[in-house]
Each structure stands twice: as structure tokens, then as C-alpha cells.
Structure 1
């Protein structure tokens, strides 16, 4: 095993790996897709430090993409926040594993330090919903036009007062999607329409890729320090964001949903719950098991 820093609770990391292995053993082999070059699109490559990072939207990925830009030398800033978020998310900010020949890519998977950061499925989903459908950023407007219009048209009663009021005021359709409507959309049409709500299982393929280190969003500070120490990265001050705003609202939002919707969401994200040791107690007060 690659040496962990003395300050890292390595027993916790071993526990996470064991949970992942046990979870993968419970997933039907037919569900575990064969790795293809196109399926490695979310894995960013740092050849200098022999490091692979699978990015997951709404799991500190903007700041981690900024870190990757510094590690790979595509940016030389000392304050990561000086890198605009749109620059961090640009297609050419960091090389992706899918850009390499498959033989070379698989060799990197065998020999490089591999890392992913995970988060409670419902907390991550709520963060995506609030950011993309309740936000006022340019990216939010895109999501409201691209997805919100369709969601409202298909999952809101056309004769409702809210819909008529929206038509009369000529507000852009999609700017007031409710969580109930969004969840109906996911249940009926699946998670793969956008990376912001696609499961971590489908983005990072943890049952096919042997990850050296599994970070958890709730331990972002210590896990970030540990992985950067492992790869012997230069001093990088990782910007810490306050996730309490979303975490404190998870129960408030999801308890408004019908229980059958929660059952369906649990089924959609079952593999993420299973592989990364999460449950619904923090959301509902009990777990479906």
C-alpha cells in the first residue's frame, strides 16, 4: 500500500476500501460495464506526479480541477481562487484519460495513484438542484432553459395556477422547477442526462478501477491534505467551502417528497449508497436498508 502520512487515520481509509470491495461483490456482474476509452472521460491526468483524479460534480470538483491545473503546470497561481471557474471547467484545462490510447490509459490505471472524492447521494443531488435550478448564475440559466423548460412542461399540470401565472408574466420557462418535479424527471428518465446528477458509480467506475484513495466530502480538509501528501505535491492551499448550507437543508427538502419518490431515488443511487457507506437516516430518520 502507498504510504499514508502519519496524520491520516489510515484505518478509516482501509475501512472505506473494504466497504467498496464488499459493495462491489453485491452488484450483479452484468451491471458492471466493461471499461471503454470513452468511459474514462471523467479521469484527469497529472503525468508529473503520476496521479489520476476522477472528478465528480458537486463534490468540490471545481477546486480540485484548479489543483490539477497547478499540479500539471497549466497554471502557476498561488491562490487557486484566482483561476476562474469557467477556466477550470474548460475542456483543455487538464488532460483526460480518455484522450490517451487505451493501452497507455490502462497502464496509467495500474501504475498511477488514483483518487476520487465521494459525497452523500442526496446531499450531492440537492446541491445540484439548488445550484442549477434555484441559482441565478449564467450556468443556472443554461440549466433552466436546457432542462427546466422540459421538466415543467412534462411534469407540471398545465392547468395549474402556477403554470398560468408563469405564462402570463412571461418569465423564462424553467426558472422555478420544484424538487418534486425534478425528482419525477429523474425517476422517469434516469440519471445519465447530465453529469451533475449521474451517479458516482457511473462516473468513476469504482468496481472496475482500483482506487488508491477514496476521499469523503465530509472529511474534505483532512482527505485533501492526505492525498496531496501521498503524491508529494508542492504546497497548495485548497480553498475550503462551507457545505453546511446544503447539509442542513437535506431533510427539509426531501421530507416534502412522497415516500415512494424516496424509494425510487434510493434505487437510482443504490450503488453509491452501497459502495460508500451512506444511508437515509440523516434524511428520513431511518434507512430503507
Structure 2
């Protein structure tokens, strides 16, 4: 009997990996979140409705999506435009990213009146997509400070970072804000906190201990989770874009070697709720987890 149980359990694990029973993985994620909120997140907290500006609404499919930058949110916003009829495109990647991020492309929960907000929170399927906190942080750095086209971030944040943390900065560095190092960026994040949504913790953006998320997706299983969610809400057949990996996870060790252990501990403390609530660890990066 024990052997039979192990066989059935093994078959179930295979099915989960294959994505044929994704709800089994959802049970694990929901339990992780519930335990984490009870132990670390202080349980449910009252939040003002104007704090829900990251929660997007699809009335047609009765769905709420809390978008998290650097977790495929551009493609999710494109998807919402199609689901809500804002766009008639049959190929999501044809929708310009600038249009997907425009304020009038999607409806925010914070734009509704209080009774409508309460109705949506009680009756709609709410979901959030998460990612390893350090991978997401590195992705934000590489996208906003290493890429030459992100002039806004270099001028808005880069010049401040260089002025504050680079003692031998040249006039050119101070004028353009380019060439911000990863360690300088981390120091800024540690000192100035959640200055921008691209590196603010999911805990601050989506209030996972206060809102009832019916579905928790992970960047690591993006394709499978997207298919499961679309099936769950009864969406029409639509292919969620599979974009080429930026290999951020493989570069994690290279970048984090620039940091001191104190830097890493500080970052872990800043994103601790995201680690604890969504089941991420530092095992792959450090070889051990922080207590």
C-alpha cells in the first residue's frame, strides 16, 4: 500500500510539472501565502481604496490583475486590452508597449467608487504574478540603467545615485547619469526604499495579505500559469507571448558578487515579505538561506 501511495504521489508530481493539474500547485502557493501572512505579514490589514492603483479590472471576465513591473506585466497589460475590447489585435506583441502602459488603456480598481470596489473584491477572480525578488531587482537594474535607451531613468535616478555614491564622479557622469553600477543602484534602493514601482516590493504594490488572490502565478512557470488562468476565467483562445529569456537568473551570481554580505542581508530584509510569502529562498545564490 505504501508503494502504491508513493506511485500515485509520483504520478501527481509529474502531472503538476506537466501543467495538467495546475490547481495542485495553486494549493501549495495559497498555503504558503496564508502561513506567511499569519507569521510575517501581520495578517490582513485595512487598506485605502486609493492604494489599489496597481490592480487592473476586467469586468467582462470578472478578473482583477495586480501588475508587478518586471514580471511580464507589459504582456499581461496587452492581454487585458484584448480581453476588455480596448484592442482588437489578434497578436499581443503587435500592441506597442507604450500603448499597453498608457493610463487610458486599462481600468484601475482605484478609479471605481467604493461600492464597486467592494463588489469586485468580493466577486472577481484576483491574481498576481510574482518573481524571485533578487531576479526582479536585477532585471530592473539591467533594463533601466544598463540599456542606453532608458534615458529617463538615467536622468531621473542615475544622476542622483552617482552624485550620492560615487566620490570620483566625472562631470559627464553627473550630467548624464549613465554607467550606474549595480552596487551603487543597490545602495540607493537600500537607503531610499521603494522609490519606484519597478523595484518596490510586491508586498507594497499588491497587498497580498489584505486582498484575496485566487490565483498566484510565478514568472518561472509563466506559460503554464498563463494558460491555467485564462482557462479559469473562461477567456477566448489567445496565445500568451513567450518572449526570449534575458538570462537574468543565470547572471544573478555574477552581479551579486559585487555586493558585500551586508548589502545582501539588507536587500533580503527589504524584500523579506516577498521571499517569505511566495516561497523564494537564497539557496541558489548563496548556497544557504538567511534566517
What TM-score comes out, normalization by structure 1 length? 0.91
Q: Does the residue aligned with 2:176 lie in a helix, a strand or coil? A: coil
**1:32 Cα shift?**
6.1
**1:244 Cα shift?**
4.9
CA contact (8 A) 2:81 2:105 kept: yes
- CA pair 47-266 structure 1, distance change in 2 beyond 3 A: same
Structure 2 partner of 1:112: 124
**1:170 Cα shift?**
7.0
Which deviates the most, 181-190 or 267-276? 181-190
Structure 2 partner of 1:174: 177
Structure 1 partner of 2:12: none
Q: Aligned equivalents of 1:135 and 1:196: distance in 2? A: 15
Q: Aligned equivalents of 2:217 and 2:41: distance in 1? A: 25
Flag structure 1 segments of 5+ consecutive residues without an equivalent. Answer: 1-5
- CA pair 200-170 structure 1, distance change in 2 beyond 3 A: closer
Q: Aligned equivalents of 2:71 and 2:165: distance in 1? A: 28
Give 1:131-150 correspondences, 5 Å limit: 131-137=143-149, 140-150=150-160
CA contact (8 A) 1:255 1:283 kept: no
**1:285 Cα shift?**
1.9
Structure 2 partner of 1:9: 22
Q: Does the residue aligned with 2:156 lie in a helix, a strand or coil? A: helix
**1:279 Cα shift?**
0.7
Structure 2 partner of 1:156: 166
Give 1:86-97 correspondences, 5 Å limit: 86-97=98-109
Structure 1 partner of 2:9: none
Structure 2 partner of 1:19: 32
* Per-residue deviation, residues 129-177 of structure 1 (Å, max 9, x unmatched): 000000122xx110000000000001111xx2xx23xx2x578431110
**1:282 Cα shift?**
1.6
Q: Aligned equivalents of 1:132 and 1:104: distance in 2? A: 36
Flag structure 2 segments of 5+ consecutive residues without an equivalent. Answer: 1-18
Q: Does the residue aligned with 1:249 lie in a helix, a strand or coil? A: helix
Q: Aligned equivalents of 2:250 and 2:41: distance in 1? A: 35
The two structures, once aligned, show a CA RMSD in angstroms of 1.5
Q: Aligned equivalents of 1:262 and 1:271: distance in 2? A: 15
Structure 2 partner of 1:238: 240
What TM-score comes out, normalization by structure 2 length? 0.90
Structure 2 partner of 1:207: 209
* Per-residue deviation, residues 183-233 of structure 1 (Å, max 9, x unmatched): 111111112x11000000111111000100000000001000000000110
CA contact (8 A) 2:145 2:180 kept: yes
* Per-residue deviation, residues 93-137 of structure 1 (Å, max 9, x unmatched): 010000001221021011001111000000000000000000122
Is 1:188 the counterpart of 2:204 in the alignment? Answer: no
CA contact (8 A) 1:70 1:77 kept: yes
- CA pair 185-76 structure 1, distance change in 2 beyond 3 A: same
CA contact (8 A) 1:255 1:284 kept: no
Structure 2 partner of 1:258: 260
Number of aligned residue pairs: give it: 273
CA contact (8 A) 2:282 2:288 kept: yes
